[in-house]
């Protein structure tokens, strides 16, 4: 009977087998490993010539700011970018950034064995790093054409729907393709909306208030960037889950501008005069350097092979 | 932190009022435009009437994700069916495809749908497919959370053999009545009229809708009301 169970083909989706055991462990007093959430304010708007996306740069782990300057605007295709709110691992894994920094950031406070123990409930997707942006690239090779925003939308939507909301990624997808500029929001359960301006994340109410009062059709590039910065700042200053700097990405027909840290409204103002280095306590007696890799010289020569 | 943002992590659902009405020569479909996540309005101008084929449209209510996925699948199947059949599909086939998906996945889906369309065999038809996957062919159908407030209204106001204008007016009036009383419905009213000539989409923003009991005129700012010197703006 056990052998039969082992021979079953692996089913897709999450395995929730360990949930009851996890609950029991938590009741006994074991602390659940925390996961990195992007509290976030992410926005997008359509202006005269294209799309502008904006995001804050704070990544939180409960009440602690884990990363003061993370990147929330992810690359999908040369003409399509996607902002992500929700669990940092999920948004990156779903949109497909193979950033080493993001991997190490996800691993930071969650040692690997905890992942094995506490599966299921924690939606850690780094096994699926090749997601939508890779699928889009393959699609570009197959079709020989520039990717369309609705393609990215369908791929993201069907992935999120199949996980029934357990992949906690809320996305703002924007880009310009042959059919024009497009802006979409995608919710963790897989539903989408197409809008001229959109906000997502914990700071979305603050940012939406700015958009609803100041947005109009046919904004110029500078007006659009200014409005997006204002909306993100509103999220940064009024929402606890958002903070630090403003990232902007302007996408127009045929070109894109990624303005990383376009605004830095939270500079570090106090620097201790004493300095932050540690004082030397022990004296160095001897230094020996052992190279791990030896350089070997190959001398060409000898007789060539002849038949 | 999460509690103060009012449940933004709640699933995206459409509070909704959706209506489908047959008239002499076609059908009129109508819906509000509010999509809510918990207590926050995620989209105040959503389009809940989606196209399945040139002559069949679908009104969606319930979980936004579920209804979007169902409509995508049915559009795909109907497209194949149209190619195989060699002519536009009938409304009955479209409705039954929706019903099969709804019924066979009833444990996992949470969506109430109204299919309306026109074909050359039966003319204008409305099919209601509520939560469990029942299919009901009806002269008019209402659905969504706002529909609770319209049962009595339709019993009194609906009649056989209306003209296109009468049917459209009825639908707009009904949706605006539901919007006035249901918190989960709001925004603008969208209608789609389908008949032998084709499809017409209409859009009624808030200022074009009739005002009901104790509703105020749309205002730019409450400061205008106060400075206008009206004794008590909250009492009409």
Measure in Å the smallest separation between the Cα of B221 and chain A Cα atoms.
12
Note the pTM of the prediction, 2 decimals: 0.78
- Would you say residue A249 lies in a domain? yes
Band of the pLDDT at B11, cuts 50, 70, 90?
low
Decide if A162 is inside a domain. yes
In a domain, A113, yes or no: yes
Question: To the nearest whole percent, how much of chain A has pLDDT over 90?
Answer: 44
Q: Which residue has the higher pLDDT, B48 or B216?
A: B48
Q: Do A193 and B65 touch (CB under 8 A)?
A: no
Residue A154 placed within a domain: yes
Separation in Å, CA of B71 to nearest CA in chain A: 12
Whether residue A35 lies inside any domain: the answer is no
Is A196's Cβ below 8 Å from some Cβ in B? no
Would you state the pLDDT for residue A298? 83
Does residue A246 lie within any of the structural domains? Answer: yes
ipTM of the complex: 0.83
Give the closest-approach CA distance of A150 to chain B in angstroms: 13
Contacts of B68 in chain A (CB under 8 A): 157, 190-192
Question: What pLDDT, in 10s, does the model give residues A108-144?
Answer: 333 333 333 222 222 333 333 347 889 999 999 999 9
pLDDT tens digits, one per residue of A100-115: 333 333 333 333 333 3
Cβ–Cβ below 8 Å for B1 and A241: yes
Which residues on B lie below 8 Å from A158 (Cβ)?
69
Cα A52 from chain centre:
18
By annotation, the residues of A acting in catalysis are: 40
Lowest-confidence region among A129-143, B148-162, B195-209: A129-143
Among chain B residues, the shortest Cα distance to A163 is held by B65
- Residue range B91-104: mean pLDDT, rounded: 96
A44 alpha carbon, distance to own chain's centre: 16
Mean pLDDT of chain B: 89
Q: What is the pLDDT of residue B104?
A: 97
The larger pLDDT score, comparing residue A277 to residue A224, is at A224
Q: Tell me which of A65, A191, A205 to substitute to probe the interface with B (most B C-beta atoms closer than 10 Å).
A: A191
Q: Which residues of A touch B43 (CB under 8 A)?
A: 185, 193, 195
What tens digit of pLDDT does each residue of A89-99 get?
555 566 654 44
Candidate from A50-64, A210-224, B127-141 with smallest mean pLDDT: A50-64
Q: Which range is most confident: A9-13, A81-85, A294-298?
A: A81-85
Among A9, A52, A33, A20, CA closest to A224: A52
Residue A108: domain span: 41-263
Structural domain includes residue A286: no
For helices A149-162 and A88-95, angle between their N-to-C axes, nearest 10 degrees: 130
- The fraction of chain B above a pLDDT of 90, given in percent, is 78
> Does A187 lie at the interface with B, CB-CB under 8 angstroms?
yes
Residue A234's CATH number: 3.60.20.10
Nearest to A204 among B2, B8, B46 (CB): B8
Q: Work out how many domains chain A is built from and give that number.
A: 1
- Per the domain annotation, does A89 fall within a domain? yes
pLDDT in tens, A51-67: 999 999 998 888 888 88
């Amino acid at each position: 009977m056990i052998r039969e169970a082992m021979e079953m083909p692996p089913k897709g989706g999450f395995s929730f087998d360990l949930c009851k055991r996890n609950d029991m462990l938590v009741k006994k007093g074991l602390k659940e490993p925390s996961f990195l959430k992007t509290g976030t304010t992410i926005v997008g708007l359509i202006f005269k010539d294209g799309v502008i996306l904006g995001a804050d740069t704070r990544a939180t782990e409960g009440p602690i700011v884990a990363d003061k300057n993370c990147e929330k605007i992810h690359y999908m295709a040369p003409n399509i970018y996607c902002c992500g709110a929700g669990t940092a691992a999920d948004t990156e894994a779903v949109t497909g950034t193979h950033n080493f920094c993001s991997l190490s950031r996800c691993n930071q406070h969650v040692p690997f064995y905890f992942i094995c123990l506490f599966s299921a409930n924690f939606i850690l997707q780094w096994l699926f790093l090749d997601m939508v942006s890779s699928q889009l690239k393959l699609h570009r090779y197959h079709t020989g054409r520039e990717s369309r925003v609705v393609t990215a939308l369908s791929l993201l939507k069907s992935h999120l729907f199949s996980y029934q909301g357990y992949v906690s990624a809320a996305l703002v997808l924007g880009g310009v393709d042959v059919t024009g500029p497009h802006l979409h929001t995608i919710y963790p359960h897989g539903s989408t909306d197409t809008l001229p301006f959109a906000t997502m994340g914990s700071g979305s109410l603050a940012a939406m208030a700015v958009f609803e009062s100041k947005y109009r059709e046919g904004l110029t590039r500078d007006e659009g960037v200014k409005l997006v910065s204002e909306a993100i700042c509103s999220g940064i200053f009024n929402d606890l889950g958002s903070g630090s700097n403003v990232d902007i990405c302007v996408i127009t027909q045929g070109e894109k501008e990624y303005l990383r840290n376009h605004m830095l409204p939270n500079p570090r103002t106090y620097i201790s005069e004493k300095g932050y280095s540690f004082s030397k306590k022990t004296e160095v007696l001897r230094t020996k350097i052992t190279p791990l890799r030896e350089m070997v010289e190959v001398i060409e020569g000898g007789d060539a092979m002849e038949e | 932190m999460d509690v103060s943002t009012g449940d933004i992590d709640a699933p995206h659902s459409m509070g909704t009022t959706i209506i489908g009405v047959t008239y002499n020569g076609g059908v009129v479909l109508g819906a509000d435009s509010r999509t809510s996540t918990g207590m926050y309005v995620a989209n105040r101008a959503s389009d809940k009437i989606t196209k399945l084929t040139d002559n069949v449209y679908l009104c969606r209510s319930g979980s936004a994700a579920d209804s979007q996925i169902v409509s995508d699948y049915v559009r795909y199947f109907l497209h194949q069916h149209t190619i195989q059949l060699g002519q536009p599909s009938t409304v009955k086939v479209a409705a039954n495809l929706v019903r099969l998906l709804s019924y066979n996945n009833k444990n996992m889906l949470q969506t109430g749908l109204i299919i309306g369309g026109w074909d050359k065999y039966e003319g204008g038809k409305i099919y209601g497919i509520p939560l469990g996957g029942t299919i009901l062919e009806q002269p008019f159908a209402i659905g969504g959370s706002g529909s609770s407030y319209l049962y009595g209204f339709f019993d009194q106001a609906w009649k056989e053999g209306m003209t296109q204008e009468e049917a459209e007016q009825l639908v707009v009036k009904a949706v605006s009545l539901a919007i006035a009383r249901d918190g989960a419905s709001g925004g603008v009213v969208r209608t789609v009229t389908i008949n032998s000539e084709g499809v017409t989409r209409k859009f009624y923003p808030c200022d074009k809708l009739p005002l009901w009991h104790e509703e105020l005129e749309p205002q730019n700012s409450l400061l205008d009301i106060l400075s206008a010197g009206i004794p008590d703006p909250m009492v009409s």
